[in-house]
A = this chain, B = another copy of it.
Amino acid sequence: MIIVLRLSHRPGRDERTSTHCGLVARALGADEIIYSGEEDSNMIENIKETAQRWGGKFSVSYEKSPRKAIEKYKRKRFLVVHLTMYGLPIQKQIRKIRKNKKVLVIVGSEKVPGEIYQMADMNIGVSNQPHSEVAALAVFLHEYFKGKELDKKFPKAKIKIVPQKVGKKVVEKG
Protein backbone atom coordinates (compact mmCIF):
# COMPACT_ATOMS: atom_id res chain seq x y z
CA MET A 1 0.00 0.00 0.00
CA ILE A 2 1.65 3.18 -1.22
CA ILE A 3 -0.02 6.51 -0.53
CA VAL A 4 1.33 9.78 -1.90
CA LEU A 5 0.87 13.04 0.02
CA ARG A 6 1.24 16.13 -2.14
CA LEU A 7 1.98 19.26 -0.08
CA SER A 8 0.87 22.88 -0.46
CA HIS A 9 -1.18 22.73 -3.63
CA ARG A 10 -2.18 26.13 -5.04
CA PRO A 11 -5.02 26.04 -7.59
CA GLY A 12 -4.01 27.58 -10.91
CA ARG A 13 -0.32 27.87 -10.26
CA ASP A 14 0.32 24.23 -9.32
CA GLU A 15 -2.54 22.61 -11.18
CA ARG A 16 -0.50 20.92 -13.86
CA THR A 17 2.35 19.74 -11.63
CA SER A 18 -0.07 18.49 -8.96
CA THR A 19 -2.14 16.70 -11.60
CA HIS A 20 1.03 15.09 -12.91
CA CYS A 21 1.85 13.92 -9.37
CA GLY A 22 -1.56 12.25 -9.19
CA LEU A 23 -1.32 10.63 -12.61
CA VAL A 24 2.23 9.42 -12.00
CA ALA A 25 1.21 7.99 -8.62
CA ARG A 26 -1.60 6.05 -10.31
CA ALA A 27 0.32 4.96 -13.43
CA LEU A 28 3.40 3.80 -11.51
CA GLY A 29 1.71 1.67 -8.91
CA ALA A 30 0.65 3.80 -5.94
CA ASP A 31 -2.83 3.24 -4.46
CA GLU A 32 -3.83 6.74 -3.49
CA ILE A 33 -2.94 10.41 -3.54
CA ILE A 34 -3.88 12.92 -0.86
CA TYR A 35 -3.63 16.61 -1.66
CA SER A 36 -3.03 19.24 0.97
CA GLY A 37 -2.69 23.00 0.58
CA GLU A 38 -5.65 24.82 -0.94
CA GLU A 39 -8.65 22.72 -1.87
CA ASP A 40 -9.11 22.22 -5.62
CA SER A 41 -12.15 20.07 -6.27
CA ASN A 42 -11.91 20.55 -10.05
CA MET A 43 -8.47 19.04 -10.17
CA ILE A 44 -9.45 16.20 -7.88
CA GLU A 45 -12.54 15.45 -9.99
CA ASN A 46 -10.43 15.41 -13.14
CA ILE A 47 -8.00 12.89 -11.71
CA LYS A 48 -10.84 10.73 -10.41
CA GLU A 49 -12.44 10.73 -13.86
CA THR A 50 -9.17 9.81 -15.54
CA ALA A 51 -8.64 7.01 -13.01
CA GLN A 52 -12.11 5.64 -13.62
CA ARG A 53 -11.81 5.82 -17.40
CA TRP A 54 -8.39 4.19 -17.50
CA GLY A 55 -9.20 1.46 -14.98
CA GLY A 56 -7.70 -0.01 -11.85
CA LYS A 57 -8.21 1.15 -8.30
CA PHE A 58 -6.91 4.56 -7.28
CA SER A 59 -8.15 6.97 -4.65
CA VAL A 60 -7.87 10.73 -4.63
CA SER A 61 -8.70 12.91 -1.66
CA TYR A 62 -8.06 16.22 0.09
CA GLU A 63 -6.78 16.84 3.62
CA LYS A 64 -6.18 20.42 4.66
CA SER A 65 -3.53 19.57 7.24
CA PRO A 66 -0.51 17.55 6.11
CA ARG A 67 0.42 17.10 9.77
CA LYS A 68 -2.91 15.36 10.44
CA ALA A 69 -2.45 13.09 7.43
CA ILE A 70 1.07 12.17 8.49
CA GLU A 71 0.00 11.46 12.07
CA LYS A 72 -2.89 9.32 10.86
CA TYR A 73 -0.67 7.11 8.71
CA LYS A 74 2.03 6.91 11.37
CA ARG A 75 -0.59 5.47 13.69
CA LYS A 76 -1.43 2.96 10.96
CA ARG A 77 2.28 2.01 10.89
CA PHE A 78 3.12 3.43 7.50
CA LEU A 79 6.76 4.32 6.87
CA VAL A 80 6.81 8.05 6.14
CA VAL A 81 9.25 8.91 3.35
CA HIS A 82 9.74 12.56 2.40
CA LEU A 83 11.30 13.11 -1.03
CA THR A 84 13.65 16.08 -0.88
CA MET A 85 16.85 17.05 -2.67
CA TYR A 86 18.40 17.52 0.79
CA GLY A 87 17.83 13.91 1.86
CA LEU A 88 19.89 10.73 1.84
CA PRO A 89 20.50 9.10 -1.57
CA ILE A 90 17.64 6.81 -2.62
CA GLN A 91 20.10 4.31 -4.13
CA LYS A 92 21.51 3.62 -0.65
CA GLN A 93 18.18 3.53 1.20
CA ILE A 94 15.77 1.80 -1.14
CA ARG A 95 16.39 -1.72 0.18
CA LYS A 96 15.45 -0.60 3.67
CA ILE A 97 12.37 1.22 2.38
CA ARG A 98 11.20 -1.78 0.35
CA LYS A 99 10.95 -3.85 3.53
CA ASN A 100 7.91 -1.76 4.41
CA LYS A 101 4.72 -2.76 2.67
CA LYS A 102 2.95 0.43 3.81
CA VAL A 103 4.62 3.67 2.75
CA LEU A 104 3.43 7.26 2.81
CA VAL A 105 5.49 9.19 0.24
CA ILE A 106 5.51 12.96 0.69
CA VAL A 107 6.22 15.20 -2.28
CA GLY A 108 6.72 18.86 -1.63
CA SER A 109 6.25 22.08 -3.44
CA GLU A 110 8.72 24.99 -3.50
CA LYS A 111 8.97 25.58 0.27
CA VAL A 112 8.46 22.62 2.58
CA PRO A 113 7.93 23.49 6.28
CA GLY A 114 10.69 22.27 8.61
CA GLU A 115 8.31 20.11 10.60
CA ILE A 116 7.82 17.80 7.60
CA TYR A 117 11.54 16.91 7.70
CA GLN A 118 11.14 16.18 11.43
CA MET A 119 7.97 14.12 11.11
CA ALA A 120 9.26 11.96 8.26
CA ASP A 121 10.88 8.64 9.14
CA MET A 122 13.21 9.16 6.20
CA ASN A 123 14.18 12.18 4.10
CA ILE A 124 15.26 10.81 0.73
CA GLY A 125 16.89 12.48 -2.28
CA VAL A 126 16.42 11.28 -5.84
CA SER A 127 19.77 12.90 -6.65
CA ASN A 128 20.79 15.97 -4.68
CA GLN A 129 20.35 18.22 -7.68
CA PRO A 130 17.40 20.53 -8.29
CA HIS A 131 14.86 19.04 -10.69
CA SER A 132 11.19 18.08 -10.25
CA GLU A 133 8.93 16.51 -7.64
CA VAL A 134 7.11 14.70 -10.45
CA ALA A 135 10.36 13.10 -11.59
CA ALA A 136 11.43 12.29 -8.03
CA LEU A 137 8.12 10.56 -7.39
CA ALA A 138 8.38 8.59 -10.64
CA VAL A 139 11.91 7.36 -9.97
CA PHE A 140 11.00 6.55 -6.36
CA LEU A 141 8.04 4.38 -7.40
CA HIS A 142 10.05 2.76 -10.19
CA GLU A 143 12.79 1.87 -7.69
CA TYR A 144 10.38 0.74 -4.98
CA PHE A 145 8.57 -1.64 -7.34
CA LYS A 146 11.79 -2.63 -9.16
CA GLY A 147 10.28 -1.75 -12.52
CA LYS A 148 7.42 -4.21 -12.13
CA GLU A 149 4.93 -1.36 -11.91
CA LEU A 150 5.34 -0.96 -15.67
CA ASP A 151 3.54 -4.27 -16.17
CA LYS A 152 0.67 -3.35 -13.83
CA LYS A 153 -2.80 -4.20 -15.11
CA PHE A 154 -5.68 -1.73 -14.83
CA PRO A 155 -8.90 -3.78 -14.72
CA LYS A 156 -12.26 -2.42 -15.87
CA ALA A 157 -10.71 0.23 -18.09
CA LYS A 158 -13.05 2.00 -20.50
CA ILE A 159 -10.10 3.05 -22.61
CA LYS A 160 -6.90 1.22 -23.32
CA ILE A 161 -3.83 1.68 -25.45
CA VAL A 162 -2.45 -1.10 -27.62
CA PRO A 163 1.29 -0.34 -27.88
CA GLN A 164 2.42 0.41 -31.45
CA LYS A 165 5.73 0.78 -33.22
CA VAL A 166 4.37 3.85 -35.01
CA GLY A 167 1.15 5.76 -34.47
CA LYS A 168 -1.71 5.30 -32.04
CA LYS A 169 -4.07 2.46 -31.31
CA VAL A 170 -6.75 3.10 -28.72
CA VAL A 171 -9.50 0.68 -27.77
CA GLU A 172 -12.62 2.14 -26.17
CA LYS A 173 -15.47 0.32 -24.54
CA GLY A 174 -18.96 1.73 -24.85
CB–CB A129/B165 < 8 A: no
State the oligomeric state as a number of copies: 2
* A129 and B154 in contact, given A89-B163, A123-B164, A164-B87 (Cβ under 8 angstroms): yes
Task: Name the B residues within 8 Å of A87 (CB-CB).
Answer: 163-165
**How far in angstroms is the closest Cβ of chain B from A3?**
17
Chain A contact surface mostly = mixed
Q: Tell yes or no: A126 within 8 A of B by CB.
A: yes
Q: What is the number of residues of chain A that contact chain B, defined by CB distance less than 8 Å?
A: 55
Output the nearest chain B residue to A55 by Cβ-Cβ distance. B129
Structural contact, B130 and A167, CB atoms closer than 8 A: no
Asked whether any CB of chain B lies closer than 8 Å to the CB of A24, the reply is: yes
How many angstroms from the CA of A108 to the CA of B15 in the assembled complex? 19
Is the CB–CB distance between A129 and B27 below 8 Å? yes
* Shortest CB distance A4–B (Å): 12
A65 close to B (CB within 8 Å)? no
> Hey, what's the 0/1 contact readout for A65-90 against B, CB within 8 Å counting as 1?
00000000000000000000111111
